[in-house]
Amino acid sequence: MSADRKTLDERQQMSDLERLRHSCAHVLATAILKIWPDAQLAAGPPVENGFYYDIDLEHRLTPDDFEKIEEAMKAEVKANNPFEKVVISREEALALAKSGRIAALSERSIESTFKVDLLEDIPEDEEISIFKNGDFWDLCAGPHVARTGNCKAFKLMSVASAFYKGNKDNPQLQRIYGTCFKNKTALEEHLVKLEEARKRDHRKLGRELNLFSIDEQVGQGLILWKPKGALVRRQLQDFITVELDKQDYYQVYTPHIGKLDLYRTSGHFPYYEESQYPAFAERDKLEKLASEGSTCSELMSMLRDGEIEGYMLKPMNCPHHIKIFASEHRSYRDLPVRLAEFGTVYRWEQSGELGGMTRVRGFTQDDAHLFCTPEQISDEIQGCLGLVQKVLGTLGMNDYRVRLSLRDPADADKYVGSEENWDNAEAAIREAVESLGLDYTEEKGEAAFYGPKIDFVVKDVIGRDWQLGTVQVDYNLPERFDISYVGSDNKPHRPVMIHRAPVGSLERFCGLLIEHFEGKFPTWLAPEQVRILPIGEDQIADAEAVAEKLKALNARVKIDRTSDKIGAKIRNSRLDRVPYMLVIGKREAEQNQVSVRHRDLQDLGVHSVDTFLEAFGHEVSAKLLQPAPLASE
Ligand SMILES: [Zn+2]
Ligand SMILES: [Zn+2]
């Protein structure tokens, strides 16, 4: 795997597991050549969770081929051949590659084209080596495990296409992904976890449960929230809004666009132009300039330089909020000013990086900006962290750690804001985190140039880390926008700004919630909370009466009016992840009762309608994660 042109240092840093996985890539290559001796091999590095090998092969590989390939791999593992390193000269290596002996089991009548090419990438002064396992020779710098027998616990995972060296002008290859672990138990655990993740995949569940969709004609990475997904989002927003009201935030609304000049002042344009939707300008002006002979690239650079007035979709809400702060006279008595907005922003992510709700081009942040005096930072941060804790705790996400990104004192020139301010802010952050009893790590040198930051890293139910809940102190933007308040000394002072977003992006957070709950949202968050299942036509009127009572509690309730058998009605309701099913048959109807079923707990018995309403009302208003017990009658 000679395409792996990492420095010697980086190679030596290969972890034990990476070394094992890379060695398994050699085992895979050996097996491929046993079956298809003319295959051309390119590169086979370890990657996160496994390894791959890029192969040029006429036969179109599919997962149906895996069994055969795995059999050949097992034979190579069983042979337990040592990985043997042979250092050779550049000329020898080139001769071997040209005679087809490298990346092969024997000399071939064809040249090993990719290896010939890869040899040229190896710097003049670097040692060239081949590694042999049995008859298979590969151009490789290593390192490997001792023997092929070490690669016992492997599995082929998938096949994809990939351009040679990742360049679309190069030939298209077939990339086989596999994974390998120290032992079978670790492999099994990994496979179970993958299966669990697959079952929970929010793209799959989002489609099955009709939560959101993405439409090519609307644009990649732009989420269409369908009615059920929108209901989940609205519950979340309402919940956050209530908490913001308690903390004396003001809700504001700002437009989705702003003038380029605004972002020139904030520093978002043109420096981050690559990661933004293209700027736009008045049609009349552009048409006039174009008719006068300006080329497209000239127009672009006039926009960039501010010779034409332009606009763009907002990549951040901060500049708009700063303008709201600056729109009034502010005295120290007015501070802190806390401006909150569910603000939608747009970023131009590369299309290869887009996927479901977790990587998108438009998203809504639960954003807010706090403008305060330096003395108020500590209390404000404590309030922000308390809010993040409240949100995560309510959703049962209690497995998280807190990461403080601080400045690197050795690199003081890098940071804006006075040393005194930084000391103050870092101490305030530490104090806030400690007073809330949070476990935290400090990462020196990780702060942005404009201020220290706090992140929450949340572990989901299947052990994956998600970075959420950011609180960022900022000394830069108040300076750039020259905002001030009048202090008790009657002189103007610069406020400190805090950016904070407890869940970050609502799109990404809902994607996480779908996976975390496997689509089984707690009742307060569920798009449909109760489904009433009349056993026959005769009970529909009774079902309607119960539905009316639930609606009076603002419950989201539906009646299954199909002629399906009750078993099918229950099944459909559970497939839709509806928390409660209320079955009404002849007897229940006569006694003003319902037979209560829960999607997870099954049969909860027959209860009076009022008993159910009371427990249900409590569960929703207290935002319980588990069903409230039904009082016994
Ligand atoms: Zn190797
Ligand atoms: Zn901001």
Q: How far is the CA of 352 from the centre of ligand 2 (A)?
A: 27
Q: How far is the CA of 316 from the centre of ligand 2 (A)?
A: 6
What residue type is assigned to position 266 of the chain? Answer: S
What residue type is assigned to position 17 of the chain? Answer: L
What are the domain boundaries of the chain?
A: 8-196, 224-256+314-513, 530-621
Indicate the length of the chain as a whole number. Answer: 633
Ligand nearest to the CA of 46: 1
Q: Does domain 530-621 have CATH number 3.40.50.800?
A: yes
Q: What's the pLDDT at 5?
A: 46
State the Cα–Cα distance between residues 119 and 140, nearest whole angstrom.
10
Q: How far is the CA of 328 from the centre of ligand 2 (A)?
A: 20
Q: How far is the CA of 137 from the centre of ligand 1 (A)?
A: 10
Q: What's the pLDDT at 14?
A: 82
Q: What's the pLDDT at 282?
A: 86
87 strand-pairing partners: 129
State the Cα–Cα distance between residues 338 and 323, nearest whole angstrom.
13
What residue type is assigned to position 119 of the chain? Answer: L
Q: How far is the CA of 68 from the centre of ligand 1 (A)?
A: 23
For 166, the token pair is: 């990742």
Q: How many angstroms separate the most distant Cα atoms in the chain? A: 94
For 410, the token pair is: 């050795």
Residue with tokens 């002072």: 493
Residue 588, classed as helix, strand or coil, is helix
Q: What's the pLDDT at 381?
A: 93
Q: How far is the CA of 143 from the centre of ligand 1 (A)?
A: 6
Q: How far is the CA of 2 from the centre of ligand 1 (A)?
A: 7
Helices and strands of the chain, counted as H and E runs: 20, 28
Q: Which of 337, 154, 348 is nearest to 250 (CA)?
A: 337
Q: How far is the CA of 269 from the centre of ligand 1 (A)?
A: 44
Ligand nearest to the CA of 30: 1
DSSP state of 99: T
Q: How far is the CA of 46 from the centre of ligand 1 (A)?
A: 10
State the Cα–Cα distance between residues 162 and 173, nearest whole angstrom.
5
Ligand nearest to the CA of 367: 2
Q: What's the pLDDT at 494?
A: 95
The list of the chain residues with pLDDT below 50 reads 1-5, 7-8
Question: What is the set of active-site residues?
Answer: 318, 347, 365, 367, 369, 453, 499
Q: What's the pLDDT at 592?
A: 93
Rounded alpha-carbon distances, angstroms, from residue 426 to 30, 318, 373, 423, 592: 55, 22, 15, 5, 62
Residues 6+ apart with CB under 8 A from 419: 412
Helix (H) / strand (E) element for 244: namely helix 227-246
Q: Which of 380, 392, 372 is nearest to 504 (CA)?
A: 392
Planar angle of CA 437, 442, 448, nearest 5 degrees: 120
Ligand nearest to the CA of 138: 1
Give, rounded to a whole angstrom, the gap between the first and last alpha carbons of the chain.
72
Q: How far is the CA of 325 from the centre of ligand 2 (A)?
A: 13
Residue with tokens 């084209």: 113
State the Cα–Cα distance between residues 64 and 552, nearest whole angstrom.
56
- The architecture in CATH of the region 8-196 reads 2-Layer Sandwich (3.30)
Query: How buried is residue 259: exposed, middle or buried, by Cβ count under 10 Å (0-12/13-18/19+)?
Result: middle
Q: Which of 390, 394, 370 is nearest to 380 (CA)?
A: 370
Ligand nearest to the CA of 317: 2
Rounded alpha-carbon distances, angstroms, from residue 514 to 205, 214, 229: 7, 16, 10
Q: How far is CA 479 from the centre of its chain?
A: 32
State the Cα–Cα distance between residues 593 and 585, nearest whole angstrom.
9
Q: Which of 388, 436, 387 is nearest to 246 (CA)?
A: 387
Q: Which of 242, 312, 236 is nearest to 504 (CA)?
A: 236
Ligand nearest to the CA of 371: 2
Q: What's the pLDDT at 2?
A: 39
State the Cα–Cα distance between residues 222 and 242, nearest whole angstrom.
28
Planar angle of CA 628, 629, 631, nearest 5 degrees: 125
Class of the CATH-defined domain 224-256+314-513: alpha beta
